[in-house]
Amino acid sequence: MPESVVGSWCGGQNDAPGGHWTYVFSGDGSVAAKNREGGFSGYVVTQGDVMIFYVEGSEPFESTWSVSYEEALGTNLLFLDDYSYVPGGCDS
């Protein structure tokens, strides 16, 4: 797992029925994600700009990803499938 991704991130689609997602990525590749409607956990493998998510009971799925510094916010943003995520967890 790239060091730039390790940690908690809050964001996603603003009008999603379940609200924003919190993703927690660990250095060993494990991931946990949740929103108001539920969540999942598993592990992630990165290949270039693609993350492949392996979740028990589901087929693997892919997301494009990048991390870039946002000058106006003074922090890095994680982008998953073109949705932005800020450092930290969220409740909505």
Predicted confidence (pLDDT) per residue in 27-36, tens digit: 999 999 999 9
CA dihedral of residues 5, 2, 45, 92 (deg, nearest 10)? 0
70 burial type by CB count under 10 A (0-12 exposed, 13-18 middle, 19+ buried): exposed
Q: What is the pLDDT of residue 92?
A: 46
Q: Which helix (H) or strand (E) holds 18?
A: none
Q: How far is CA 60 from the centre of its chain?
A: 15
DSSP state of 12: -
**Per-residue confidence band for 14, with pLDDT thresholds at 50, 70 and 90:** confident
- The model's pLDDT over 46-78, given as tens digits with 9 standing for 90+, comes to 999 999 999 999 999 999 999 999 999 899 999
φ and ψ at 87, to 5 degrees?
Answer: -60, 140
